[in-house]
Amino acid sequence: MTFEEKHAGNGSQVGKREPYLGEKHQANWKPVANGKGQVSVKQEASGKRDMPRKSLNVYSWQEIQRHNQEADLWLVIDRKVYDVTGWVDRHPGGRRVLGHYAGEDATDVFRAMHLEFDIVQRYLKPLLIGELALEEPSQERNKNSQLVEDFQELRRTLETMNMFNANLVFFSLHFIQILILEALAWLMLWYFGNGWPMTICISFLLTISQAQSSFLQHDIGHLSIFKKSKWNHLMHKFVMCHLKGLSTKWWNHRHFQHHIKPNIYPKDPDIDVGPLFLIGDLQPVKYGKKKIKYIDYEKQHLYFYLAGLPLLMPVYFNLQSMQVMYLQRYWGDIAWVSSFYIRYFITFGPFYGIFGTVLLIYFVKFLESPWIAYVTQMSHIPMKMSEEENRDWFTTQVLATCNVEQSFFNDWFTGHLNFQIEHHLFPTMPRHNYHKVAPLVKSLCAKYGLQYVNKPLLKAFGDIVRTLKKSAALWMDAYYET
């Protein structure tokens, strides 16, 4: 059977792709170079193949959109069609990220989430199976092509303005701040002793250090500091694993899903908080109609204060990180995270002993938790939540995010995540440039009638609870409906 027979009979393929010269195929239709087995990762990375391709198949959007299953996954980047089915398990950002864009145009998300395009293109090259037919638009027909073009032009403008270049002095000072807080906590304990007043004092110092480490690891995880991905990855291990005791791979695989499909059921794991909380307009009605009542959802806004705020970091994130590391056998992350606990035992063990040091670690996580919970939830929970609507990148991000007013304190307290819209549109952009690009983003929103939401910090905090109350009311209406 020839390569072309793989797609035969669908009636929507517009053209044929000639196979590579010397290329053979196995029963599962994965290419084999000259009968010597599958193309190795090294070959993929170098972009080398035995012989160059002669021509490419051309496809319609109708055909591409059929390949949107886990076992049959195509996507489009810059009008080129890629079959990434065999690559998903090796994708550094996790398999689900690719699955969320199956059968769709992924041009803007590809540019948003990657740093060194020349290297990434080498991995894409062996996955190329064709291109869009000439008469087909560059993205699905339901998307606003002019908006897509204007956003891409905005990105090119920002690249010309060097808005994606990091100020290393800024990030160095931020890193030094963290180290000073850690050192100061130990010095105060060494000098004044481990009495209760001093223990409370150093706990607050360590809480500030941990929260600021959270923001720094977020920057590094998005490749927004160094120009080389490998340096970002190495520094991410140090900050996330060694300074915070959490897995980088767990965070990447979870957080990137949130970024590419924010507030979209069931693709965004950050809004999958049932059965403890019901958020948005869809989930409460679904639970209500099915007469599901795990807890009293009428009071879920109170559970947010009692459980959501204090337990996010020490229980939910910490246990989930450990579970993923163990089940997925992330030995590198396990070693790095172990160094976090070893450092704490060496540093604080002489003052508190092993059990006391463990209590200190989790007390600090308990104090940090409300800070991180408020900052991460204020920009998304009050915004639109929906099932997949296949919107363009710009619209998807703007509808699901909101900003908080800028001030020196707000910038520091939120790690510049008060510019959530700009961050979601340009994840690899260094955060110190968000305020510079915000007027341009706001202007593009106004041109296309999209609301650019910007609110005071305390109102943003309050909107979380108000949204939980609204969702609870929707659940009640559906649950008690006769």
Answer whether 308's CB lies under 8 Å from 300's CB. no
Answer whether 395's CB lies under 8 Å from 339's CB. no
Q: What percent of the chain has pLDDT over 90?
A: 83
Tokens of 34: 């000259």
Alpha-carbon separation of residue 273 from 32, 68, 169, 308 (angstroms)? 44, 26, 38, 10
Terminal CA-CA length for the chain: 59
pTM above 0.75, yes or no: yes
Stronger pLDDT, 40 or 415, i.e. the higher one: 415
The H or E element spanning position 176 is: helix 168-192
* 41 — pLDDT class (breaks 50, 70, 90): very low
pLDDT of residue 351: 96
Alpha-carbon separation of residue 91 from 96, 163, 177, 267, 283 (angstroms)? 9, 27, 34, 17, 30
pLDDT of residue 11: 39
Distance of alpha carbon 362 from alpha carbon 455, whole angstroms: 33
Tokens 């992330």 correspond to 330
Distance of alpha carbon 395 from alpha carbon 88, whole angstroms: 26
Q: What is the mean predicted confidence (pLDDT) over 116-121?
A: 87
Alpha-carbon separation of residue 6 from 13, 17, 19, 25, 68 (angstroms)? 11, 11, 12, 11, 16
Nearest by Cα to 73 from 110, 93, 100, 44: 100
The mean pLDDT of the chain is 89
pLDDT of residue 274: 79
Nearest by Cα to 82 from 41, 54, 110: 110
Three-state DSSP class for residue 302: helix
